[in-house]
Structure 1
Amino acid sequence: MQDELFAARDLTIALPGSQGSMIRIVENLSFSLAPREILGIVGESGSGKSMTALAIMGLIDVPGARITGSMLFKGQELVGLGARALRRLRGREIAMIFQDPMTALTPVHTIGWQIDEQIRAHESLSRAGARARTIDLLGEMGVPDPRRAADRYPHQLSGGLRQRAMIAMALSCNPSLLIADEPTTALDVTVQAQILDLLRRLRHNFGSSVLLITHDMGVVAETCDRTLVLYAGNVAERGPTGDIFAHPGHPYARALLASIPPLHGVRPSRLLSIPGQPPSPAERPAGCPFRPRCPQAHAQCEQTPPMVRRGEQDIACVLAAPEPVQA
């Protein structure tokens, strides 16, 4: 599609295992992202969310790792792209807010120095020009007294201010695609709301598309235009967020939604918990990977499920709809 900013097609990420085996962390993943769109990727820990983000950024540095399929960004293929070309894209065109700002930020340099460095790495600005942009960005991110904050070290800032500094760094070169990996983790509810409001405003103020990675379905409902539900490295469901929340088609998506308190109606005395644990990538069951934990599993689930279309939703379940569609 011409309006796609980014499109992954049959993306598979495999890491070396024992005795020369290759363990597939992500399998045949397909999704797209339009300009100024916020796409949420949701799933339990170990579902492949962060690994997908690292693959897009070209940051999987495990020896022997194998990435196949296609990742097109503005028509340019990222799979197999050389290190120098990737460095030109990172920061300038594609940026990432990492999961933990305390470990992602360098503790021995000030916040301002780190943002200045990224700006000067991609643009021909003087130190004074880079610092002026840094202070402006921190101010736009809602950091109080940004000039003073720029001279502080990460440990001297609260978790919310460190997260804002990470977002300012990611936006320093006006990237077209911003990847936010669990940007509200370990933040209190008030700061979470501020960060999510900031992400929603990015597309209007900076024209950025956002790939929001989270395990929090409430964050997805509040923020995202479309949602991709991952389970064990596979697509369980994808489509408009409102449709998935109103009429989830995959048993895993239904279970995730049932595990959060409802905003309206009668509140259950006990929230649903999904029995069992997600499978290890090295021991993924044949057929539907959710089959061992699914209350609706039957013999047909031992076969690889087709991707079926229901309205604008794509659902990897034989019970969802009668007509399969191509991924």
Structure 2
Amino acid sequence: MTGVEPILSVEGLSLAVPRGRTAMLPILENVSFSVGQGEILGIVGESGSGKSLTALTIMGLIDIPGARVTGSVRFRGRELVGLSQRAFRPLRGREIAMIFQDPMTAFTPVYTIGWQIDEQIRAHSRVSRAEARARTVRLLGDMGVPDPERAAGRYPHQLSGGLRQRAMIAMALSCNPSLLIADEPTTALDVTVQAQILELLRSLRRDYGSSVLLITHDMGVVAQTCDSTLVLYAGNLAERGPTEALFARPGHPYTAALLDSIPPLHGVRPSRLPSIGGAPPSPASRPPGCPFAPRCVHDHPACHDSRPPVVREGRQDVACVLPGEGRSLPLRLREAV
């Protein structure tokens, strides 16, 4: 949004963890993006690309001994990197909330769903137990949980996967956060429930005015839901930009490969979908240049020298040494670029 400060601004975010006695192993490297007020931003990439770790780093939930976080994470202009756990605690749940990937493990199994949502409400608001329970029941109902009063008295294992996910969203919204981070909220849910959860996320902007950071590996989910998209690969930014522009003309070969690997919405459906050869590198074996170079069909000698700069192409920012026209040239001409 032009002229309006983003609600979340991430600049050069990096995370490194100890390796041995003296070395540090980079996990995230120089990740930058922003989320505007009321915006839904999707973060996509294969497993191990750093999506969830980016979210946990933003939330100050990295508890690895000796881990080092650098860069800047500003929420409503306030710097979060280096903030103490005591200073961070009032922000979590109240200002920034997170829907974790697996609600079965995110909820405490020995307390009822209602008790856990009540507890969060009372931790951030001066309300009575009765007022907290009334808000809990209302939220569960708003999230489409049938018979919400009865559901509030049930334990996590007594609810289906879809209902647990709705309860997790209700808990995340219990204090009307300004930013909601949803980590794979549709994983392991059937198609009908997935559609319902995505509609709930879209309604957050409309009904609550929340901004949403949606983490997923499903490009179809991003196309349906997100205003803008951030593509991560091996802990590095590959591409970011408006979803419509990124899908219409992907700038990075990795983005194009992800889009090629899903069935087309129109036209003839291929008998076999293309796949990306190989596997993402582990943090300990990332190449010195572009981390995607060993799997890229546009591999160029310059790709192996150093991390590619982030350049502007159209409406997107792309981390690639070749300009867009170079990636469209026949293979025999690429050496001359």
Pick the TM interval, shorter chain.
over 0.9
Question: Structure 2 CA distance, aligned partners of 1:209 and 1:140?
Answer: 18
Give the alignment's Cα RMSD to 1 decimal: 1.0
Give, in angstroms, the shift of residue 302 of structure 1.
1.1
Question: Structure 2 CA distance, aligned partners of 1:75 and 1:316?
Answer: 26
Give, in angstroms, the shift of residue 310 of structure 1.
1.4
Please name the residue that 1:89 is paired with.
Answer: 91
Question: Structure 1 CA distance, aligned partners of 2:169 and 2:22?
Answer: 40
Please name the residue that 2:330 is paired with.
Answer: none
* TM-score, normalisation: structure 2: 0.94
Where 1:88 maps in the other structure, the secondary structure is coil
Q: Deviations over 1:75-110 (max 9, x none)?
A: 000000111110010000000000001111111110
1:1-327 alignment runs, 5 A limit: 2-303=4-305, 304-321=307-324
Residue range with higher mean Cα deviation, 265-274 or 233-242: 265-274
Where 1:248 maps in the other structure, the secondary structure is coil
Q: Which amino acid aligns with 2:239?
A: E
Question: Structure 1 CA distance, aligned partners of 2:70 and 2:292?
Answer: 24
Where 2:186 maps in the other structure, the secondary structure is coil
Partners of 1:308 and 1:321 within 8 A in 2: no
Give, in angstroms, the shift of residue 318 of structure 1.
2.0
Runs of 4+ in 1 over 4 A off after TM superposition: none
Q: Which amino acid aligns with 2:319?
A: A
Q: Deviations over 1:219-241 (max 9, x none)?
A: 11110000000000001000000
Q: Which amino acid aligns with 2:311?
A: V
Where 1:63 maps in the other structure, the secondary structure is coil
* TM-score, normalisation: structure 1: 0.97
Give, in angstroms, the shift of residue 280 of structure 1.
0.6
Q: Deviations over 1:148-172 (max 9, x none)?
A: 1000111110000000000000000
Please name the residue that 1:325 is paired with.
Answer: none
Q: Which runs of 5+ in 1 are unaligned?
A: 323-327
Q: Which amino acid aligns with 1:316?
A: A
Q: Deviations over 1:37-83 (max 9, x none)?
A: 00000000110000010011111011000000000000000000111
Partners of 1:309 and 1:321 within 8 A in 2: no
Residue range with higher mean Cα deviation, 307-316 or 116-125: 307-316
Question: Structure 2 CA distance, aligned partners of 1:266 and 1:321?
Answer: 27
Q: Deviations over 1:109-164 (max 9, x none)?
A: 10000000000000000000000000010010000110110001111100000000
Question: Structure 2 CA distance, aligned partners of 1:168 and 1:131?
Answer: 12
Q: Which amino acid aligns with 2:248?
A: A
Pairs aligned (count):
322
Where 2:90 maps in the other structure, the secondary structure is helix
